[in-house]
Amino acid sequence: MKLFKIRGGVHPDDRKRLASEQPIETLPLPDLLHIPLQQHIGAPASPAVRRGQRVAKGDLLAQGQGMISAPVHAPTSGRIMGVGQYPAHHASGLSVPTITLQPDGEDRWSDAIQGVDDPFALEPEAIAARVAAAGIVGLGGATFPSAVKLDLRKRYTIQTLVINGAECEPYLTCDDRLMREHSEAVIDGIRIMAQALGVTQIVIGIEDNKPQAQAAMAVAASIDPNIRIARLPTRYPMGSEKHLVQTLTGRETPARGLTADIGVVVHNPATAFAVHEALRFGYPLVARVVTVSGSAISRPANVRVPLGTRVQDLIAHCGGFKEEPTRLISGGPMMGQPLPSTRVPMVKGSNGVLALTAAETGQSDVRPCIRCATCVQACPCGLVPLEMVAHIHAGDLEGAVKRGLMDCIGCGSCAYVCPGHIPLVQFLNHAKGEMAARGRSKQKQMETKRLAEQRTARMEAIKRAKREQMEQRKREMAARKKAEAEAAQQAAAATTEPVASETES
């Protein structure tokens, strides 16, 4: 199919060969699983179990709260050891609400697990409801609840479902292996999602450095003439949702808008596989495929991991470290986040664990900007990173915003090509975080002001009501006194009238 050119981008060494030929293997159950209540964008789930409770695999551990949320399920059978705080799978390392589960070794599925014989006979709402109940989120890393995206047909006119199989980050090969080994299941999940969205146009984008995945998916997709395989050029960040859609359709997503604004919904192959398992077998999302790679890893691999497994257990399964890594990263090296320790648990959005050596991180001394504009040429969003960073250095975040700060996707292309090794993307991400914090502070102030005004209005209404009640009581008392006085006068008049009559006689 015809592809459209996009601006910018870089060509880093993909280093996928470390794990690309390693078939998916299943991690043995660890001694303990630490399952965070928030593994998705939106409100955290609310615990539905208690300490000491026995659960089966797939049982509900925590219920999603609100419109944007997702439930959490037991990755295996066992006993709940506690509901408390545990370090998060996040660079901060802060503790978050977490359920600790001790596996019993049986790995026994719940009796309530039940699939659907023919998912295509279901109404779109029923498919979305089952996806929501299974706790499925975007497994490409965004972790947006998938059912919410499937319901976008209610607000937008959707014509096309795009499957993002680019997997453009270096090292990562979990989607590649999933498309190679489970292509029929992935295609089935894609067709079920298309049924939920009510679309017939389906495009699967896969980069050219994955020829085996392209071939396997093409064979599996041959059952449906509405599915097209797009062979994408190997270029980072081709996996960026908006840039992928522009490459495939030639249409640009509005600034700070959604691809749904132009009639496109994007999902990930791993998400499609999870939808297949949820609809066909009733399995909730309790495990995912993860790439463990980097030169510091003894045996790079693609592993199907129960959610809640500690990173240290995953690394031990891969033979441990050959040497102490300079950097431990969750996700890819371009947009991934540093991990504070190996104690943190694997979560739904963790598609990779990378242990990188000093040679791989390429750390060098930072030199001053020479305004060569190499970062401008690399930026896929058409921004001028050097100008934005100059405003950030000067403390002028508003100036950076005017130059497009909030349109930055944080892909790291600018920092990758900078000859001065300036951490441009880190400056930009810090500034975006600061602006978000300011926005929250402003919103909090506005909310506080609104609540104060409501309280003032409420107190004034109470005072006014009291004054009206007092005035009403005064009027009633005056009326009662007047009535009593009139009654007394009438009684007096009635008493003196017979006396007057006797005197006359």
Give the number of other Cβ atoms within 10 Å of residue 463's Cβ.
Answer: 10
Record the tokens describing residue 340, joined without a space: 């504070």
Closest CA to 348 of 192, 149, 153, 137: 137
Closest CA to 273 of 352, 228, 217: 217
Taking the mean position of all CA atoms in its chain, how far away is CA 387?
30
63 neighbors 48 (Cβ within 8 angstroms): yes
- Please list, in sequence order, all residues whose beta carbon lies within 8 angstroms of the beta carbon of residue 464, skipping any fewer than 6 positions away: none
Give the number of other Cβ atoms within 10 Å of residue 199's Cβ.
Answer: 18
Nearest-angstrom CA–CA distance, 208 and 262? 26
187 neighbors 203 (Cβ within 8 angstroms): no
The DSSP call for residue 259 is G
Query: Helices H, strands E: what count in the chain?
Result: 14, 17
174 is in an annotated binding site: no
414 is in an annotated binding site: yes
Distances in Å between the alpha carbon of 501 and those of 488, 496, 504?
21, 9, 5
3-state helix vs strand vs coil in the chain, percent to 5? 40, 20, 40
- Paired sense of beta strands 160-165 and 201-207, if any: parallel
Taking the mean position of all CA atoms in its chain, how far away is CA 110?
27
198 neighbors 358 (Cβ within 8 angstroms): no
Closest CA to 274 of 100, 140, 160, 142: 140
244 neighbors 6 (Cβ within 8 angstroms): no
Per DSSP, the three-state class of 197 is: helix
Determine if the peptide bond prior to 269 is cis (ω within 30°).
no
Nearest-angstrom CA–CA distance, 10 and 474? 83
318 is in an annotated binding site: no
418 is in an annotated binding site: yes
Per DSSP, the three-state class of 253 is: coil
428 sits in which H/E element? helix 424-504
The DSSP call for residue 129 is H
Record the tokens describing residue 173, joined without a space: 């090969």
168 is in an annotated binding site: no
Closest CA to 164 of 20, 9, 246, 269: 269
Closest CA to 317 of 22, 2, 37: 22
Residues flagged as binding site: 369, 372, 375, 379, 408, 411, 414, 418
List residues forming the annotated binding site for [4Fe-4S] cluster.
369, 372, 375, 379, 408, 411, 414, 418
